[in-house]
Chains A and B, each alone.
Chain A
């Protein structure tokens, strides 16, 4: 029935995003588009500023490495992105939508405005102006207006943070409705019923899928992150079950499929985690995240707990998956050799701040920030002669920087290479690069 086929084709919802999605799943990602944008992210725990004003973009299809010593906030950054924490300040955009937002900067702005206004009023009061009252009044009115603006922003941030899923669903539903509207109203009754059914199904599907589940995480410790009392099938399919999939055969099929993808065999599905070696356990962890068909995987030190020979297996697996499924990976690790090998771009973090960001080749060829240099100088290599000569550079922030005059900020030294520095330092770095 040729006619029917053509009508079916017209039913396929064709929106910009869904096109991308299908393309991504087929392993043909639209490269260069920003998938994840982190803007001025701050995550404070009381007085501890675990992450403080960190910004970066992750483009579709790339591997973005995040390095730094333990306690520098790289794991916290990863967890904030996946909304395991409510962030203190800044915004996180995923596929152009704000999925998490904090209010720190607005609150700080309000405080600053108030202080400014107070100072101004005090100045006016001190002076011998005749129109004191009026001026003060004007000042206060201005303040009120500005504060109201900031408060509106806070409200928007809170709403985005809380209701991003609702908004996502609403928008998607509207898109779907728009796509099916014509078919539902204009087609003959028989076809309309069919279209209605499809529409309902698609709607159900939409209700199941959350935006945030398109980001998945792989954890560091393959032993602690797998429930010892669940079989591999239960562990891997848990996400699907939570989404409301009830079809057992569909679940099994999916599980077998991902097991195959990560290099395990379907027989493994019935076993328990303790029956596997460390490398295999990590594969299970990868399978669990891959089954949700994510677009972004946050790999939090996925190979640190593994033997060297097994590390290579897992890295090769992630590399394969990345090409096969068009994944984007935020790769958090402290082993610089591995990060260099695996990542396209690298961000270096130090005590909650991102101090340098560049493509991996550029970063290793021209490290600019003294902390990056000290980090690079600490990499052990399998070369005894070199190792005997290697001198570790010790980074002492107090000795290296003089920020008493000008505070540092993130600056682009050459295109794509950002360093946390102030003007004199920026000039110094530029000279070093021969600019």
Chain B
């Protein structure tokens, strides 16, 4: 029996092998290596781009800004287009990893709203083209949370002892620390080590109350009512509302202490051999029909002003997902932390998690 299995597997293997060799060899087509967050694109647009331009795309995905940075900065893998978040863009600019874009090749850049240009991480708009943006919000189940506890729309809800084992917290240090820093009234980009230590102390106090440190698991947990309170990204709260159980009633707010405004933007790496093609890809992603698809699939706010007109007005009108400038005034963008603060954050976070 093993022989039969083997011969079948072998046949399959050889077929695969031949196909993969055929796939690699021969063609003179330019290949772009695009590196993006997992599930952060309408995948149908990739073959569309390939068909229109004749450029082949190797599309790979990462789970965090840090993982992306580790792979790119190791120098062992060559990428052309990456889509990091704000503070990571700042870091990569500082370390001279990004190429200055030639906006003549990205005419669709004009559709990007002015609110998303000239942000602190890339003040002169030289290196990045915004892809999505949003704010962090506090999400809660109305049926499980006392209205009095959310009346003041405070970040304190995440530290409320009443909801012990009902709280979900970010499983990444930057977002988790931001919540603690905002509770203390400090800047998310604080350069004062003592403030970070204080925030770490708060997070340690919070740990016994936290049911789980989550990323993607937040969806199932909140939708089912397994947890009552969570901090996550604005667009995701709408997804949770759509999928929630009958006995769950999801609501959300931007905390009064201030929230993080994040921007994920497309950048071209300095090491690229195909800068013009990379810019063509970015331009393609900024085409209105593509931007609409992107916004629909991801559910986060789009910085693309024309795409907005074609999206569901209920979402565009949502004051949390598409926060108005008054709300945005109370938000802060993450900036690259000084190396010693970065290391401190990493050490403090590991200490919180390991004990």
The finding on whether chains A and B are genuine partners in a shared complex, rather than unrelated, reads no
Binding site for A on B (CB under 8 A): none
